[in-house]
Structure 1
Amino acid sequence: MTQVAIRQSGGATIISLPKVILNTLHLQVGSTLELTLENNKIILSPINQELSLEDLLVGSPQSALRLNEEDQQWLNMPARGKEV
């Protein structure tokens, strides 16, 4: 069990989540959590947001996003069945 303190920062009341908790739940600054109260307990649950293709590719190296010659040949191949 981990204990955290409630602090004041500017006009906000905050708690800090330990890095091990963030890493375990794959959370980062900006992640959205659902806050619920059950039996006088605060429960924070990650909200799994659907990511767009742009979100998924934002960290990819530009070289991985370019079509190479093999990719271009595959795209130019004629259809071989009923896929079109």
Structure 2
Amino acid sequence: MTAVSIRQSGGANIISLPKTIVKLLGLHTGSQLDLTIQDNKILLTPIEESITLESLLAASPKECFAVTAEDREWIEARPVGKEDN
């Protein structure tokens, strides 16, 4: 068992999770936990994160979205067959 202390930060009371626990559970800064009270005990359960294209793109460096010369070629290329049908 690991003991943690309740601290105050601004208007919130907080606890810190030890790095070993965070690593063991595969959590990271920003991970969400479900907090429930059961038999007068606090239970924190990791919420499974679903990976979406939106979440992957949000974490990508913005410079990756810059239009390159090669992209511009594709954008401006005229159809050579029946692409526009």
Using structure 1 for the length normalisation, give the TM-score: 0.63
Q: Give the aligned residue type for 2:27.
A: L
Please give the residue correspondences for 1:43-82 in structure 2 after superposition, counting only pairs within 5 Å.
Answer: 43-53=43-53, 55-56=55-56, 58=59
Tell me how far 1:49 sits from its aligned partner.
Answer: 1.6
Matched residue pairs, number? 60
> Which runs of no fewer than 5 residues in structure 1 stay unpaired?
63-84
Deviations 1:8-27 (A, max 9, x none): 01111000000000000111
Give the RMSD, CA atoms, in angstroms. Answer: 1.7
Structure 1 residue ranges (4+ consecutive) displaced by more than 6 angstroms after TM superposition: none
Identity %: 57
